[in-house]
Chains A and B, each alone.
Chain A
Amino acid sequence: MSMYIPSYFEFVNSAKLLAGDYALENITEEMSLLGSSRPFLLSDKGLEKVGSVKTLLDIFSKSGLKVSGVFTDIPLDSSILKVNEIASLYRKANADGIIALGGGSVIDTAKGLRMLISQGGKDILKYAGAEVLPRGMNVPFTVIPTTSGTGSEATGVAVIKDEEKEVKLEFISSYLLPDVAVLDTRMLESMPPRITAITGLDALTHAIEAYSSMQRNPVSQAYAIAAMRLIIEYLPIAIKEPHNKKARLAMANAAYIAGASFSNSMVGIVHAIGHSVGAVSGVPHGEAMSILLVPSMKYNVNEAREEYSDILLYIAGDVYASTPNENRAEKAIEVLSAFVDQIRTMAPVRKTLSEAGVKKEDFQKIANRAINDGALIVNPRAADRDDVLRILSEAF
């Protein structure tokens, strides 16, 4: 197993990570160093209801941080209208920084708000695409994830809906990365087993796709390896023992690390199809990942043979040692399949697309979307509509 060195690569992971005990208490100091004393807090209704927002505000007030406003009415899909609405509240509150507490939707919306404010309130839709967003003004930005999956706190990616044109626009830029990412188990313990399970499997998929993508590089692969090892060891524990702090923190670390990895080497066909299954049939992202991971890896196996063989070493070292080299890639898929099955015995995660509510008559629609998903561009094996349809059938 020799390591792959691309002829050229880039890597950025500029967010400062605060992970573990009293991480939340340290936000005051970090924001102050970044030049913010009146940050605006974004979160969602669910977190408000379970008390996470209040817990955080109490910690802030004890550590001397005064927020200038709180906004929790965040939709599932972040949109330009919502970002504009929050921006006007942000200005009215005379805020000087952003703190996001939540999952993917809150963080994406916060990234949109940060983009808008840092570009002086100008039209941000023109920055859709890859690497066209300039840095803009300094808007201190801290993210506190409440799930351990999307890794959005470590990615330079945001998806924002343009209501006028009815399209979801993807923004890829290192200037979307937050300044600070905060992993604190007090904000993670309320996750129910099913959410722990599917978000954890999302993070595992990030690591696997990033490790084997055409854009892989030694740094992103090192991150992916760390994430895989953490997830294989700690996801079952985090599901079984929701208050096990060590397991929760391990999973939060894993999601962050996997996020940093795929932010630099992209994901692949599991995500291309998964995004489409989510958009067309409403299958939750992590659950779509858990269903599509194995059939997609089988599709990629010949092109990603070396990478999948490596993966076996990191997820099951003993099996790697006892498996002949030529069988290791297939064995890795087997071990992962067994792992996902094991997770299904611990939490309600559906096994097939049909169980998850996908209709066969929507396959064409899903496939048409999937081949236009940017995640496909660096997948180890090219895929057309028919290839996607075959994977859908296998996962059905």
Chain B
Amino acid sequence: MIKTVKKAISNIVLLVLYRALRVLSQHDSRVRNEFEALPEGFTVALRINPSEGEIRMAKVNGRLKRIGKRDDYDVLITFKGIDAAFKVLTGQMGVARAYAEHRFTLKGDIGVTMGLVRMIDIAEAYLFPRIMTKRILRSVPYKEKSTLTIYRKVFIGV
């Protein structure tokens, strides 16, 4: 696949992932618990090097919001390149495998990041078909809400 296509898709998925996390941090009890454990003002960015894409978010007034560029984030996950990022973002590679393969660097508290990874795992269970998540996650989290409900909220917003 050509790089520009990978880049375009990866950026769409980054956005979808953010929206899924925002929805799930209200509608899925496990994601909500993880989210509530984060301090107010907590910032996290997912970046794809070299400048292939980035999504930045923060906990603002108890809700997940997108934020503008900052000098520093509490947690910054940077994929070293678009190819592995694309695999992770399209459900072909789990976060644990990506970590094992050194596909990204992580700046910040590793303990806090473990909670973020659990949130992303749950989001993937909703976003990707089980046939894919079964392959990339060591155990697939169950879905508290129907996929359709979550899809509707993520993509349509109601």
A residues sitting closer than 8 Å to B (CB atoms) are 6-10, 126-132, 167, 169-170, 172, 213-215, 265-266, 303, 371-374, 376-378, 380-382
| Given the contacts A132-B105, A372-B115, A382-B138, A170 and B110 also touching, CB distance less than 8 Å | yes
Q: Which residues from B are CB-within-8-Å of A127?
A: 107
9 pairs across A/B with beta carbons < 8 Å? A8-B102, A9-B101, A126-B72, A130-B105, A167-B111, A170-B111, A214-B96, A376-B114, A382-B139
Q: Assess whether B9 is interfacial by the CB under 8 Å rule.
A: no
Q: Which residues from 84 to 141 on chain B have a C-beta closer than 8 Å to any C-beta of chain A?
A: 95-97, 99-102, 105-115, 117-118, 137-139
Q: Which residues from A are CB-within-8-Å of B139?
A: 381-382
**Is B115 a contact of A131 with CB atoms below 8 Å?**
no
* CB proximity of A332 to chain B, nearest CB, Å: 21
A215–B113 Cα distance when bound, in Å, is 18
Interface residues on B, range: 20 to 34
**Is A6 a contact of B106 with CB atoms below 8 Å?**
no
Q: Which residues from B are CB-within-8-Å of A215?
A: 99-100
A371–B100 Cα distance when bound, in Å, is 18
Of A132, A167, A378, which is within 8 A of B106 by CB?
Answer: A132
Q: Which residues from B are CB-within-8-Å of A6?
A: 100-101
**Is B108 a contact of A7 with CB atoms below 8 Å?**
no
Extra inter-chain contacts (17) besides given A10-B101, A131-B105, A377-B95, CB under 8 Å: A7-B101, A9-B101, A128-B110, A129-B106, A129-B107, A129-B110, A130-B106, A131-B102, A131-B106, A167-B109, A172-B110, A214-B100, A215-B100, A372-B115, A373-B111, A374-B114, A377-B96
| Given the contacts A131-B105, A378-B96, A378-B99, A373 and B138 also touching, CB distance less than 8 Å | no
The majority secondary structure among interface residues of chain A is: loop
Q: Which residues from A are CB-within-8-Å of B112?
A: 372
Q: Which residues from A are CB-within-8-Å of B99?
A: 130, 215, 377-378
A254–B111 Cα distance when bound, in Å, is 29
A376–B112 Cα distance when bound, in Å, is 13
| Given the contacts A128-B108, A130-B105, A382-B137, A373 and B97 also touching, CB distance less than 8 Å | no
**Is B109 a contact of A169 with CB atoms below 8 Å?**
yes
**Is B105 a contact of A129 with CB atoms below 8 Å?**
yes
Q: Which residues from B are CB-within-8-Å of A214?
A: 96-97, 100
**Is B138 a contact of A381 with CB atoms below 8 Å?**
yes
Residue of A126, A128, A129 with highest tally of chain B CB at under 10 A = A129
| Given the contacts A6-B101, A214-B96, A377-B114, A129 and B108 also touching, CB distance less than 8 Å | yes
| Given the contacts A215-B100, A303-B138, A378-B96, A128 and B107 also touching, CB distance less than 8 Å | yes
| Those 5 A-B pairs whose CB atoms lie nearest each other, nearest first | A382-B138, A215-B100, A374-B110, A372-B111, A382-B139
